Amino acid sequence: MMRQIWGNSSVKKRNQTYIFQGQEFKDGHLSIDGNGVNIYTEEAIPTAEEIALFKNNPSVQGSAVEEAVRRMSMWRLQERDWVKVTVGEYQVLVGIAKNISTDEVIIFVPEQHVEVTVALNQLRKYTKVGDEVKVIFGPHTGAEGWVVAVDTADNVAVFDPKTVLEITVSSNHVQFFELPVVKQSYAPLPPSYPSLPDSSTSPVIKNRNHQYIGKYVKIIKHKQFKNYNGFVASVLRNNFVRVEIHARRRAESIHLSNLVLRYGSKN
């Protein structure tokens, strides 16, 4: 093909390689002298397809594959995602990514109402029960559902309502994902299901309101806490949620119809 386009003399064979326009090619790939070439592997973020291509190569260690998956996961980090600091001065601190730069993240810590700046490589996504996630790597790629359990090895059990199956994957293999809840923050939050008796045992119904966990809200109806701000810490039955109220440092049970989203929610 190259000879047809550039002429017979454009390509010369040298042992196991070919020379074209002064450059050496082997098996269709360009070969270059590594001397004087700066290669920054730390900045190379593999795609899921690239990882899948090399993960079964015997020359690639399993730990290297897992580290590549972790870096890919952090590269997909978005503002308002929950994160946990794994090393350094703020180790074990949990918060919400507020601003993301090339190598640093400003984290808002709701419990202390403070912001800290942490290096990106000191973080991992913080996945908790109730999070809506999508599997981005491995045999379950594409599965979507709710986290129903997290173990000490950072594996998460995800309930997929489409298949009604529970799958277990590494927390590095998922990214936060949620369906639209409301389009603006002036209307009360819509309950995902009508009120149900406490005897309800349907896993889909019990978990659907978990999509509100972690959202910043304002209380618009309550005889004691009207106009207070907080975030949804957990869900209760009959469309009630437990709201951590910032000013009072306490949690209150509030019906979804008494809340609106405020700035900082992941919507």
> Does residue 199 contact residue 161 with C-beta atoms inside 8 Å?
no
The percent of residues above 90 in pLDDT, for the chain, comes to 4
Q: How many CA atoms lie within 13 A of 146 on its CB side?
A: 17
Q: Which CATH class is domain 180-267?
A: mainly beta
Q: How many CA atoms lie within 13 A of 124 on its CB side?
A: 19
Amino acid 265: pLDDT: 45
**Fold agreement between 76-125 and 180-267:** yes
- What confidence tens digit (pLDDT) does each residue in 88-100 have? 888 888 898 888 8
- Quick check: helix, strand or coil at residue 54? helix
Strand partners for 100: 105
> Does CATH place domain 76-125 in 1.10.1060.10?
no
Amino acid 195: pLDDT: 39
The CATH number for 132-176, chosen from 1.20.120.1200, 2.30.30.30, 2.40.70.10, 2.60.120.10, is 2.30.30.30
| Cα–Cα distance for residue pair 45/71, rounded to 1 Å | 7
Does the pTM of the predicted model rise above 0.95? Answer: no
**82 pLDDT more than 80:** yes
Amino acid 254: pLDDT: 92
- Among 1-5, 47-51, 203-207, 219-223, the minimum mean pLDDT is found in 203-207
**52 pLDDT more than 80:** no
Tokens at 179, concatenated: 């369906």
Q: Where are the alpha helices (DSSP H) in 60-109?
A: 62-75
**224 pLDDT more than 80:** yes
Q: Where are the alpha helices (DSSP H) in 26-117?
A: 48-54, 62-75
**262 pLDDT more than 50:** yes
Amino acid at 103: D
* Residue spans per domain, the chain: 2-39, 76-125, 132-176, 180-267
DSSP letter for each residue of 180-233: ---SSSSSPPPPSS----TT---HHHHHHGGGGTT-EEEE-S-TTTTT-EEEEE
Amino acid 202: pLDDT: 43
> Does residue 137 contact residue 173 with C-beta atoms inside 8 Å?
yes
Residue 118: CB partners within 8 Å, gap ≥ 6?
85, 88, 90, 93, 104, 105, 107
Residue range 169-177: mean pLDDT, rounded: 78
Tokens at 43, concatenated: 């900045």
> Does residue 166 contact residue 207 with C-beta atoms inside 8 Å?
no
